[in-house]
Amino acid sequence: MSDKPLRLVPLGGLGEVGKNMMVVEYGHDILVIDTGIMFPENDMLGIDYIIPDFGYLKDKVDRVRGIVITHGHEDHTGAIHHILEDIPAPIYATALTRGLIEVKLQRAGLLKDARLHTVQAGDTVRLGPFRVEFFHVCHSIPDGVGLAIDTPAGLVVHSGDFKFDHTPVDGWPTDFGKLAELGQRGVLALMADSTNAERPGWTPSEAVIDPAFDDVFRAAPGRILIGTFASLISRIQQAARAAARHDRVLSLVGTSMVDNVRIARQLGYLTIPDGLLIPLDEALKMKPQRVALMCTGTQGEPSSILGRLSTATNRQFDLLPDDTVVLSSHPIPGNEETVHRTINRLLQRGANVIYDAIAPVHVSGHASQEEMKLLMQLIRPQYFVPVHGELRHLKMHASLAHSIGIPAERTAVVENGMVLEFREGKMQAGERIPGGYVFVDGRGVGDVGPEVMRERESLARDGFVLVNLRLNPKTGKLAGEPEIHTRGFVHAPDAEELLQAARQKVRELGGGSENGLPEKIERELGKLFYAETKRRPMVLVFTSSSGS
């Protein structure tokens, strides 16, 4: 036993679906698990994605022994280049995960200096006081791993994203034997994927998708457009096999899809014969009933291929009358509204749309309740920490733990930034550190704060009012008539009365020569507009000196 505490510091993924990042700390040494991003919710205007707040690590850079990545999904890998810029620690990942990470590092110009190490399930790596053993888990992307981390304070197990699929697409089920062995060794703490904690029973095997795809392929009169995540490599494999069975060619639409498939094929994780996969421009010239297209955009992102097709703004090609669109994915929590809008628009534009509510064209990559219980039974941890989920998922996962005999006081439902400490085999709450959002907007990281988000929201909701004032340079008083323009607030001809009142208010205020006139006008007009319309447009006042 050790005298130093073992600390778990969740920086992302606890209390949300996305941007997973967990820090394991023992004494002076630190291990980082995953570096994910989260996609913005509807109300986060203009934000590309969100990365974890890893400020906690910035003064501890020399203490980070390694960054371990469990699998190649964006919510585990997407922030790797942001993290690596500040924390140039060695990265450990399986071959496919590494391949997908390399693409990101290459784009960010960081690949040359990155220290990447390939591991495979069964390997053990020593990183300072941590002995990290990788074990295979099934998920919706091949080559996913869970982690058994041996520390002087005890053994910690992290499930990674997992399910117990007996017939996975790549034929490689979760390593039950290893899980049982870990349970026998004695596990201090288990951290496990909570995504589907509300879902009873077992998650169906990926194998159920094959017959569903067969039905779609048999019935489709024209082209088939299959939408999924570019990182759902297993689904791309299933689509390729379905295309081969039904004598269609497959073509990839979108850079991320093309890049990921190239890497996965090179590394042997995707088997697609050359003749089956053809370039898009060739596919577009073929008879529609011979073509299947693989595209991104199942979350309703307006700039994605399916998003653009739904609004008739895709440049390379448009929907055809007999097209069948298959959404082989499920909305990420928060995206439901946009996804449904995209489905409606695609239907409106004449496509036949098939999604998981009407046919089993998607199964989850995450364990359901019975699998979660089985994992806990096999591992039999002293302490249980649900991870990877919104608070309701974490709570539900904790109550599943209670149902199989893990007492409440040995379960820790914590959110980002709430540190857990293990001292002499006992768990206690540590300090609270920042665990919020860092917005990435175009090329800017973290320069869009909550203040800017509030301004964008207000602009989108209530529009703005622009007031142009000319001031007498000598007296500082208003000279001439104020000009008032509005955008997105009121329709000018209908609101002439309101704008008259606003001009009158400006004239009254502009009669005095006090300082801070623009601010005063912004404030007073804000009040006037709210009183009259119950809306709060952004009021901007510009002043210029009158030439006279």
List contacts with Zn ion (CB under 5 A): 73, 75, 161
Q: Check the CA dihedral 392-395-401-404 and report its sign.
A: negative
Task: Determine whether 62 is an active site residue.
Answer: no
Amino acid occupying residue 119:
V
Catalytic residue among 193, 259, 323, 441: 193
- CB-nearer residue toward Zn ion: 73 or 330: 73
Tokens 């942001």 locate to 82
Instruction: Record the tokens describing residue 267, joined without a space.
Output: 């590394």
281-287-292-294 Cα dihedral, nearest 10 degrees: 20
Catalytic residue among 71, 82, 136, 366: 366
| Min dist. Cβ of residue 366 to Zn ion (A) | 8
Strand partners of residue 130: 127
| Min dist. Cβ of residue 524 to Zn ion (A) | 50
Task: Determine whether 366 is an active site residue.
Answer: yes
| Min dist. Cβ of residue 387 to Zn ion (A) | 10
Rounded Cα distance, 181 and 14, in Å: 27
- CB-nearer residue toward Zn ion: 75 or 462: 75
- CB-nearer residue toward Zn ion: 79 or 498: 79
H helical segments located in 293-430: 305-310, 336-348, 369-379, 391-403
- CA-wise closest residue to 462 among 518, 528, 529: 529
**DSSP per residue, 192-212:** EE-TTTT--S-PPPGGGHHHH
Residues near 129 by beta carbon (within 8 Å), at least 6 away in sequence:
26, 27, 29, 151, 152
Amino acid occupying residue 434:
P
In terms of residues, how long is the chain? Answer: 548
Instruction: Record the tokens describing residue 301, joined without a space.
Output: 């992102």
Instruction: Record the tokens describing residue 87, joined without a space.
Output: 């924390």
| Min dist. Cβ of residue 20 to Zn ion (A) | 6
- Tell me what percent of the chain is helix, strand and coil, each rounded to the nearest 5: 35, 25, 40
Rounded Cα distance, 169 and 294, in Å: 18
- CB-nearer residue toward Zn ion: 76 or 470: 76
Rounded Cα distance, 451 and 276, in Å: 51
Q: SS in 3 state form for 104-147?
A: HHHHCCCCCCCCEEECCCCCEEEECCEEEEEEEEECCCCCEEEE
- CB-nearer residue toward Zn ion: 25 or 75: 75
H/E stretch holding 419 reads: strand 418-423
| Min dist. Cβ of residue 123 to Zn ion (A) | 20
Query: Which 3 state secondary structure label does DSSP give 152?
Result: coil
| Min dist. Cβ of residue 80 to Zn ion (A) | 14
- CB-nearer residue toward Zn ion: 161 or 259: 161
| Min dist. Cβ of residue 260 to Zn ion (A) | 14
- CA-wise closest residue to 173 among 142, 200, 148, 195: 142
Rounded Cα distance, 203 and 159, in Å: 16
Query: Which 3 state secondary structure label does DSSP give 394?
Result: helix
Instruction: Record the tokens describing residue 246, joined without a space.
Output: 């039904």
User: Which whole-number Å values give the CA distances from 412 to 33, 409, 428, 519, in the listed order?
Assistant: 19, 8, 9, 49
| Min dist. Cβ of residue 339 to Zn ion (A) | 18
| Min dist. Cβ of residue 400 to Zn ion (A) | 19
- CB-nearer residue toward Zn ion: 54 or 529: 54
Strand partners of residue 487: 464
437-441, strands of its sheet edge to edge: 49-52, 437-441, 444-445
Rounded Cα distance, 147 and 149, in Å: 6
- CB-nearer residue toward Zn ion: 161 or 170: 161
- CA 400-403-407 angle, to 5 degrees, is 95
- CB-nearer residue toward Zn ion: 161 or 390: 161
| Min dist. Cβ of residue 388 to Zn ion (A) | 6
Gap between the terminal Cα atoms of the chain:
85
- CB-nearer residue toward Zn ion: 194 or 486: 194
Catalytic residues, by residue number, are: 193, 366
